[in-house]
Chains A and B, each alone.
Chain A
Amino acid sequence: MTEESKVFTFKVEIMLRSEVLDPQGETINQSLKNNDLNNVLNVRQGKLFELQINCSNLEEAKKQVESICKDMLANPVIEEYKIFEA
């Protein structure tokens, strides 16, 4: 008996590693400060992806998203990723 395939949805968050300069985050932070929001200490900008995967089970789908992150969505030299089941 074969398992029925389902559609699983994931969100992937990608952020620059903390040691990598984020000029966009810095610019946003500066703008907030210019608007008197002086208690904002730091801003980092990242990316959010939503993926829909057609797969027989959740574990397999997760593995696939993991490999897509490593292989394409994130560059491990400069970025870190987190996967969320949506």
Chain B
Amino acid sequence: MLWHKEVKIPEKTDLVILPGGFSYGDYLRCGAIAAKSPIMSAVNDFYLKGGFILGICNGFQVLTETNILPGALITNRNQKFICKEEEIIVQNSNTVFTSLYENNQNLSYPIAHHDGQYFIDKNGLSELIDEERIAFKYKNNPNGSIDNIAGILSQNKRVLGLMPHPERAVDKDIGSTSGIKLFKSLLKSIR
């Protein structure tokens, strides 16, 4: 576990995960202040060296605010905090994050966010589509995201940012288990 005030990522780190939460109370814009915290320079260097990064929820917002991922997350269309299980459809199973899923497979991941509406301009969206960088889409688009986007990849496909929570879909006693394969895919591919 690395604290936001730290400045180095340990050598031989396989994967950096930016978890969810409400860093700095989402003041200014969600993820904006965290994007300026000391550890993020190290995360950016890790990205530039080709490191694997997973950003979930607020972690995804922080990755867009640091320009590691394109676009931005803005307030949900209905202005409400949404907390429920949502159907997610796999768009690209040819990545280290999704290799144990199949294309068009339906998953159930919980979402828990107020600012989850993904926005990107037209050119940016075409780029994401052409380069197969949309990893997941919502079936019922709960937050108004452009093109139903729930998660996107960096150009080198080594960074995934998504608003839904795969880590909260790993135990049948508390709901869905369809997040397990995301972490198993990572273990299989990275190690």
Contact = CB atoms under 8 A, between A and B. Distances in A.
Interface residues of A, number: 12
Interface in B68-102: 70-72, 74-79
A19 B36 CA distance: 27
Interface string B128-157: 000000000000000010000000000000
B77 A75 contact: no
Interface of A: 16, 19-21, 23-24, 27, 72-73, 75, 77-78
Interface of B: 28-29, 32, 36, 64-65, 70-72, 74-79, 117, 119-121, 144
B28 A72 contact: yes
Query: What 9 A-B pairs come out closest when comparing CB atoms?
Result: A77-B72, A78-B72, A23-B79, A23-B75, A75-B72, A23-B77, A75-B29, A78-B119, A20-B119
B75 A72 contact: no
Contact of A21 (B29, B121, B144): B144
A24 B80 CA distance: 11
A21 B28 contact: no
